[in-house]
Structures are given as C-alpha cells and as structure tokens.
Amino acid sequence: MYIYFLLYINTVSGGVKVIMDLFEQFLVEPINILPKEGEVNYYGEVMPLEEADFYFQALLREVDWRCDQAVIFGKRIETKRKVAWYADRPFSYTYSNITKYAQLWTKNLRALKNAVEQQTGETYNSCLLNLYHNGSEGMAWHSDGEKDLQENGAIASLSFGATRKFAFKHKQSKEVVSLDLKAGSLLVMKGVTQKHWLHRLPPTKKVSEARINLTFRTINT
C-alpha cells in the first residue's frame, strides 16, 4: 500500500484535507504522517523561501563537505554524496562501519539548531549534513538505529535546495508513505519509528539541482 502526500496534509475523518493558500502554504500544527507504530511529525515550510535560499548558499560555502565513506563486505567505498558532521563537542559517531568525529558548530548551524529546537520542543547535540548534487544521488532504505544515538530520540530533518521525494516503508507490512520535502521544510522522526520503519531518499532523473539536508540528533554522552 502506498500513501503519497503532494503538499501539506491533515488527516480528517473520512479522508485527507489539504491546507493551502494562493500565496502561502502552511501547517497550523505538525502532522504525524505515519499510520501506525511510529511518529513522524511534518511541520511544512518553517521559513520563507528567501531565508531558506540564504542558508542553502551559506551552507554550500561554509561547511567542510567531504565524500562519505562506508565499509561494505569488507571493502571501503566512497560516495558522490558529500557529508559533514557538527556538534556541541567533537563526538565520535560510527555508521556503515566508519567512525567520524564532529566539528564544532558554525554560526549559521547553531542558529538553525536553536530555531529547530524552539520549533520542535526537543534538544539536539549534533547534526549530520548531506549534500546531494542532483537527483542521481540518494539514500537507500535504512533506519537510524546506531548505538551511539539516543534510543527513541528525536531526529529533526531540515531541507534546503531542490525539492525531493522522501519515503518511509514499514518493516513488516511493507506499507509505504511518501512526501515531497521542499526548501525550508521540517520533519521530525521520534519514538519507535526507527524500530518499525525504514526511510530513504530515492534517486530521480527529474531533479538537476542540489539539495542539502540537515538531521539534528542526540548522541549519547
């Protein structure tokens, strides 16, 4: 079963209600887009497009972007997608059998962290950044269940640049929920979501522009 959200949605009895305006599109309050066994709150666009564009350009310039690495079947591979990791202090974080060390917040990243914390009512001590140069670059199905992460902790995903489809798949029923993430949009995964759902950023030939995604999270200390 597939559920696909084109814009901003709000579940109501008997169906789906679309909230939109001729000039502005916004959510009055966040929506949990998952039908069961998880909580993924979608906030819609939380900043004007001009502000989102400012941060997109600033992050392109300021972040220490590097190709991601992973060890698969004993072989180290390097991705076209670039990553960076920033935090309150130089935490170590291991995923895909590679250990990385965080850099300290830049001024713009700290401002975004504070804004996301205020918006979500959660706190975060680190951020994993991904730079996708175009639609050919994506992320395969996975869940964020690394032992370094706070169990059932909130992970806030803030998007800049190109609009990209983002999908969730239930591990047992294989039910899929998808939505488009626009520049300046915010989505928060929390609770038991990682135990029951996979998520991915599927590649597409329809997108030629770059996208930057920030995932604020809490590392165990």
Distances in whole angstroms, Cα of residue 91 to Cα of each of 62, 63, 65, 102, 129: 20, 17, 17, 5, 15
pLDDT at 98: 74
- What phi, psi does 145 have (nearest 5°)? -120, 25
For residue 185, with 0-12 CB atoms within 10 Å meaning exposed, 13-18 middle and 19 or more buried, which class applies?
buried
The ranges of the chain with pLDDT < 50 are 1-25
Q: What is the pLDDT of residues 170-215, one digit of tens each?
A: 999 999 999 999 999 999 999 999 999 999 999 999 999 999 999 9
Q: Is the pTM higher than 0.75?
A: yes
Q: What are phi and psi of 68, to 5 degrees?
A: -75, 150
For residue 83, the one-letter residue type is: V
The two tokens of residue 218 are 């809490």
Check residue 18 and give its pLDDT: 33
Could you please state the CATH topology (level 3) that the domain comprising 2-217 is classified under. Answer: Jelly Rolls (2.60.120)
pLDDT value of residue 170? 97
Decide if 213 contacts 159 (C-beta within 8 A): yes
